[in-house]
Amino acid sequence: MAATGLGESYSLQTMNKEDVNEQAMSTGNHYPKETAKKHHHSSRSSQSSDSSRSSRKSFRLDYRLEEDVTRSKRGKDGRFVNPWPTWKPLVMQNVLKWALMEKNNSNIPGSKEDLDKALPVVEPYFIENPSLAGKTKAGLRVTWLGHASVMVEMDDLVFLTDPVFSQRASPVSFMGPKRFREPPCTIDQLPKIDAVMISHTHYDHLDYRSVVSLNARFGSELRWFVPLGLLGWMQSCGCENVIELDWWDENCVPGHDEVTFVFTPSQHWCKRTAMDDNKVLWGSWCVLGPWNRFFFAGDTGYCGAFEQIGKRFGPFDLAAIPIGAYEPRWFMKYQHVNPEEAVRIHIDVQSKSSVAIHWGTFALANEYYLDPPFKLSEALERYGLKTEDFFVLKHGESRDLNINNEAFE
């Protein structure tokens, strides 16, 4: 059986009818190609050119149309609910139909040699050249560490999103979704990390062993940014430097108050145990610095949040947007975007460049394992965008943005 991660594998197997709220979104309302091109290219002209990035900008957050943003909501039982009209509760009947009746078309090769050819894992640059980490000056560098885990270097900070270095997305080491591509590095091989952003509690995004290991290595010098409701769990892992935020709340890393971390909405859900459904909020993250802006979509179905985020905080220099775990659409579309919807998010948040995440690491749904980047390329062509506008990295590969020959120290 394919799995959606425990939150989305074990969670679905153990829940009752109230355990998960999943829901639908119309697949219509696509941007016409000319509209997409105009919208996307307008974001390019609205920021300074690379040549103007040699010194810090005079920077101030622009809170546009604050009254138009959607706030988090709780039901009568105190648990968080999705406020989007694109969301409907999912009944147990549909969970069972997906689990028992749908064919798994992932067809992941059993041979490591075949996987190495199709999805190579490369050694991250910082293993051989650790002194280069964080030395981007006015530029930005992103390294894909697999699934939704990326390392971003920008504005004198190095931070991770949803770090998962374990072999399984599971509460136990002997069962649950197993990664078919290894992490490109260990936690001990990482450079100094200043911050970690957690999008939600599903096991393929919040991994206990990785949290404990990161805390053991970096201790209180590492700041954790987490959704509302997760503070107690983080403290139980031994983490001390934890900031818990609601949607649209903001904070910073000590000593780097010129860079603002904002927790923003998405359409998803949370679950780690049989009884904790949606006690923790879920969402996306914006990192707003004087030189660069970064958006991390986390895990999400398509909804109106992204236009709000783009209007308030865009344009972004880089966005990390999920493209995988989307089939069958009748079931997955409420919680996971497909590649075309990922392109729509790229446009909505007004991102100059986006990197594809949430694919090629765990088999969490039913699509062919190499389809996500192929379908992404097709969607970009339909929207009149280029492959470099929304790119795919190898596991462990990095890409530099807004960096010229004088960018490195």
Domains and CATH numbers, the chain: 92-401 (3.60.15.10)
Reported as type and span, the H/E element at residue 398 is strand 398-401
- Tell me the residue length of the chain: 409
Q: What is the pLDDT of residue 361?
A: 98
pLDDT-based confidence at residue 60 (cuts at 50, 70, 90): low
Q: What is the pLDDT of residue 403?
A: 73
Cα three-residue angle 379-385-391, rounded to 5 degrees: 75
Annotation-wise, does 407 bind a ligand? Answer: no
Annotation-wise, does 39 bind a ligand? Answer: no
Annotation-wise, does 202 bind a ligand? Answer: yes
Cβ atoms 112, 121 nearer than 8 A: no
Can you say how many angstroms the Cα of residue 254 is from the centroid of all Cα atoms in its chain? 24
Annotation-wise, does 197 bind a ligand? Answer: no
> Average model confidence (pLDDT) for the chain?
87
Annotation-wise, does 204 bind a ligand? Answer: yes
Annotation-wise, does 336 bind a ligand? Answer: yes
Mean pLDDT within 28-54: 43
Mean pLDDT within 377-391: 97
Annotation-wise, does 256 bind a ligand? Answer: no
Annotation-wise, does 346 bind a ligand? Answer: no
Strands 157-161 and 250-253: unpaired
Annotation-wise, does 203 bind a ligand? Answer: yes
The pLDDT tens digits for 142-152 are 999 999 999 99
